[in-house]
Amino acid sequence: MISKLAVLIPTIIAASIVGALGITFFPSGTKNSHTTEFPIGTIKIGQDVIKVEIAKSEAERQRWLMFRGEKLPMNSAMILVYDKPDLYAMWLLNIDSNLDLLWFDAKGNLVYTVKDAQICKNALDSVNCTYKNTIPAKYVIAATSGFITKHNIDEDSKMSIISM
């Protein structure tokens, strides 16, 4: 009788190989086109007013900045909005440049940051390019690397939503 592991392990390996090949050979026209249009909103962090692209739905949060050729300008960012505060991991697969990541709780308090978060070199590099907050957050802001420094964001910074 064949054990479950004898079947499960080759299946997992095969699925991983197929997934890695799928990501590697993803059609280049899709990689370089920014077809997802996100709603635009405005937030304030400290004294700075920042234009944000809003990712509220599960599909938008999964797509977020993937396959985007251009960097976000320093006066804008993307905000991922979740239904409830929790621990949310950000896997920087298929992102073109390093990011500054900020997690805010439901009251707008900054609870966690990562400056210059490194992107994934390949699909198997998840350990070095996945970032997760340690205190529950409701909002995650992703911006071009250098955003935290430019806007003088520190552990006492607060975010308020102007329009969303």
Mean pLDDT per 10-residue segment, the chain (164 residues): 70 76 57 65 95 90 80 92 95 90 97 94 84 96 96 95 92
Asked if residues 93 and 66 have their Cβ atoms less than 8 Å apart, the reply is: yes
Global confidence as pTM = 0.76
- Indicate the length of the chain as a whole number: 164
Max Cα distance, the chain (Å): 68
CA triple 73-74-78, angle to 5 deg: 70
End-to-end CA separation in angstroms for the chain: 58
Name the burial class of residue 137, with classes exposed (0-12), middle (13-18) and buried (19+) by CB atoms within 10 angstroms of its CB: buried
Asked if residues 83 and 118 have their Cβ atoms less than 8 Å apart, the reply is: no
Q: Say how far apart CA 153 and CA 61 lie, in whole Å.
A: 23
Q: What is the pLDDT of residue 74?
A: 92
Going by C-alpha positions, the residue among 116, 99, 109, 92 that lies closest to residue 160 is 109
